[in-house]
Chain A
Amino acid sequence: MTNPPRLPNLDLPAEPPAGKASTGLELKAAQTAQALTAIRAGEVDALFVAGAGSGAEAGWMFTLDGADRAYRLLIEDMAEGALTLAPDGHITYANRRFADLLGRPLNRVIGAPIAGCFAPEAQTALDALLAAGRACKQSAELDLLSDAGERVPVFLSVSPLADGGVPDAAPETLGLVVTDLTGQKRSEAETAARDKLLALLRSQGLTEASLRDSLATQHLLEACVANLNDIVLITEAEPFDEPGPRIVFVNEAFTRRTGYTRAEALGRTPRFLQGAKTDKAELARVGAALKRWEPVRTEIVNYAKDGTEFWIEMLITPVANAAGWFTHWVAIERDVGERKQAEATRRSLENQVREAQKMEAIGALAGGIAHDFNNILGAILGNVALAQFDLTAGHPALARLAQIAVSGARARSLVEQILTFSRREPPTLTAVSLVDSMQEAAAMLRATLPATVKLSVAISAPAPDEPLRVRGDATQLQQVLLNLCTNAWHALADGSGTINVRLASLRVGGAAAFAPPARTHLAEGVYAHLSVSDSGRGMNAATRARIFEPFFTTKPAGQGTGLGLSVVHGIVGSYGGTITVSSRLGAGSRFDIYIPQLEGGAGLAAPETTAPPPAPGRGEQVLYIDDDEVMLLVVEHLLLKLGYSATCLVDPRAALAAVQARPGHFDLVVTDFNMPQMSGLDLARALREIDARLPVVISSGYLPEHLRSEAQDAGVVALMRKEHTLDDLAAVVERALSARHAAHPSAPG
């Protein structure tokens, strides 16, 4: 930016003394100084000199050079021609638009006479307009004459500038504004043509109103069709056979959804939208209906230009002309992809709910049966034990009885598995030897798997007799192996192949010689590492990603619950373990499970002792209640053998009466839980009312969580598994009695 020209003979401070002005005079001086500084800096556009009067006399404005540039820009850019005219009729100023209307360079317009710009026949009207325009604003329609000899219809407006508040304009200077009327004239011509057409229609018996209505209706329909979200596609009526009817119209929704432009679609047959997944039988049904000229509704797959498939619901209707001939098919199509998706989701959810209900029903059934079996097994095992007591050593029947006891124990373990599977009871986590439980599970598998499946088991304990203990539940751990191996078996092509089971100890971190497979994040520590691999079909990535989802199955409907691997995942997770899977299509699958290993003997459950200590009882009075008379008999014998005095009753109400009749007589009550007259829990509560110091033990085939907490609230001192009665009774009774002695040393007995 160049410096503004300096004003001579003025020596002013660079900045006016703002903030000092206090008197009127000082203020005026300061403002004058400011004004001069601003002028010198080129920041002023105008000076204003105030006058004493009002209105036009209120003051005068003097604009500085370049200040009217904004007005000039407006005029230069406006769509009308603008010019000023000297009194002698010469153009003193014209904008570019006016020059353009004339088709003449601007520099030959300014200075030219105005008369030469208009058509000869317009001259008289022009002269009259200019003469009248000197007095006040005038306007008229005239024809310009362009340099090319063409007439340009314009609207010419003339006004006197000197009276219009432009004080420095010479008197009698005229301002002209020229508006081009060519476009307007053209539309007038069109209107005339349309009027002619209407006259013709009227002669044909059609009214203008009906035509206008029909035009308006057509316009509305076009707008509707264009704005529909549904696809509208119109074809010719025929041919039905190849190549099919030609498309004559598609709307915007069609181009949006398919990606084909209108030009690409018109003239082709709609069949080009169909593809591999389009249901051929459905198309045949539609085709048959069309041949009968019947409207038809269908849902089929179409393909967009980029190859993506989409479901449409389509209604095809024939359209007839006035003579009753079918000329076209109109297809209204709606993208129902989202609905199809929702339907699929709903079906899948319904399946899941059905599966879950089925599992629940099976669980309830299994739980109920297991309960009855427990009672029966209790009687069998109890009587076996009693019979063993009764026989002298070396009796030949002892071996048979031992066989019965082993079989009974196996049956009992089976029942436990069923109960665990039906999830009626929370598993209790104890130190479990993986070596033992995996060997047992492998034995079960060998018996189950067909001969075509080779099961290879390699269990490498870190040291001989090292049981590789983990904190878990033996039945659940076996379930893990069984499920994985069953899955592997089902993955084998034709049901034949190899399943490898490996169990080893793995130390992670520190001076580890082994490392888990990549992408397995294990904290430092020692793990039991179980792997199951197969030579089966393997999985693709999509299947691999979902295998642990509940109810996800690749098996046909009804053949798999989709629960096997999710159960495995849940069990391993609840032990703080990790499970990984690696698989490729055609290359088999491999599952690796890492469960934190218990080191040393810590947490290892004491081995179960089946031999009760010799007669710990000293004649304490034990009251036993059970509705099962066989159990009653067994337990009575057992208690007597252990040195206690036993009172055994079938009916809990009789037990209540007995306690009431002889307060302080009984030292301990052991009761069955599930009895028709009264539950063991209710009995415990009632006994507590009578004698709060009398300890109660409940024996039950189930020990669900709610029973444990309710029993605790009722003051029950111990819970016992009914099927373990023979093994546990001695220890439970002894513990309960000694606790009572400790709490109430004065109690009799």
Chain B
Amino acid sequence: MSTGLFDTPEAPAADAECWTLRLYVAGQSPRSLRAVANLRRICAEDLDARYRLEVIDLYQQPELAQCDQVVALPALIKRLPEPLRSLVGDMSSSERVLVGLDLLRRAPP
């Protein structure tokens, strides 16, 4: 599958980059489960193992939410590379996730 991931001039250099991602979920709620599955798929297909993904269940670790200002779950935060980006939802659209995290240039309208 071709995503045009590295076609854009904004795309980070292919070698040195490593994405640090954090997914906040609410226990085993259906959208949380979907978000975990979708994000794992997107990472495997488009980030080619150059990523670090943490999944945080706020039921169990509510104190971890404060630094990321999370309000709605599930939510994805890209901490690195800068700048910080966030995305809310079940991550079912690969394109939205990639655009939202600066990994893909938004398609022209």
Contacts and interface: CB of A to CB of B under 8 A. Distances in A.
Interface of A: 15, 18-19, 21-22, 27-28, 30-32, 34-39, 41, 43-51, 54-56, 58-61, 63, 66-71
A67 B26 contact: yes
B88 A34 contact: yes
Contact of A59 (B62, B74, B85, B89): B62
A34 B86 contact: yes
Interface string B32-47: 1100000000000000
13 contacts: A18-B85, A22-B83, A31-B69, A34-B87, A39-B72, A41-B89, A44-B72, A45-B32, A47-B72, A50-B66, A59-B63, A61-B59, A71-B27
Contacts of B59: 61
B11 interface: no
A56 to B, nearest CB: 8
A39 B29 CA distance: 15
A61 B26 contact: yes
B71 interface: yes
Interface in B1-60: 24, 26-33, 58-59
A63 B99 CA distance: 28
B71 A48 contact: yes
Contacts of A28: 69
Contacts of B88: 31, 34-35, 37-38, 43-44
Nearest to B28: A70
Contacts of A50: 62, 65-66, 69-70
A78 to B, nearest CB: 14
Given A19-B85, A35-B71, A43 B30 contact: no
A272 to B, nearest CB: 59
Contacts of A67: 26-27, 29-31
Contacts of A68: 27, 29
B63 A48 contact: no
Contact of B31 (A30, A45, A58): A45
Contact of B74 (A21, A45, A63): A45
Question: Which of B27, B32, B84: most chain A Cβ within 10 A?
Answer: B27
Contacts of B24: 48
Contacts of B26: 45-46, 48, 61, 63, 67
A713 to B, nearest CB: 66
A58 B62 contact: yes
B73 A58 contact: no
Nearest to B99: A18
Interface residues on B, range: 35 or more
Nearest to A28: B69
B30 A48 contact: no
Given A48-B65, A50-B65, A35 B29 contact: no
Contacts of B69: 27-28, 31, 50
Question: Which of B29, B32, B59, B74: most chain A Cβ within 10 A?
Answer: B29
A43 B73 CA distance: 8
B73 A47 contact: yes
Contacts of B74: 44-45
Return the 7 tightest CB-CB contacts between A and B, nearest first.
A46-B26, A35-B72, A43-B89, A45-B29, A38-B88, A58-B63, A67-B29
Question: Which of A28, A48, A66: most chain B Cβ within 10 A?
Answer: A48
A656 B33 CA distance: 106
A44 B33 contact: no
Contacts of B85: 18-19, 21
Contacts of A27: 69, 84, 86
A37 B87 CA distance: 10
Contacts of A19: 85, 102
Contacts of B92: 43
Contacts of A36: 72
Given A58-B62, A61-B59, A48 B70 contact: yes
A55 to B, nearest CB: 7
Given A50-B69, A71-B28, 6 more contacts: A18-B102, A34-B72, A44-B31, A46-B29, A48-B70, A60-B62
Contacts of A56: 62
A18 B83 contact: no
A15 B59 CA distance: 28
A44 B62 contact: no
A16 to B, nearest CB: 8
Contact of B89 (A44, A48, A63): A44
A46 B24 CA distance: 10
Question: Which of B33, B70, B74: most chain A Cβ within 10 A?
Answer: B70
A530 to B, nearest CB: 67
A70 B72 contact: no
A56 B61 CA distance: 9
A38 B58 contact: no
B62 A48 contact: yes
Given A34-B86, A44-B73, A61 B31 contact: no
A71 B26 CA distance: 12
Nearest to B88: A38
Nearest to B86: A31
A56 B58 CA distance: 11
B62 A61 contact: yes
A47 B71 contact: yes
Nearest to A37: B88
Nearest to A49: B71
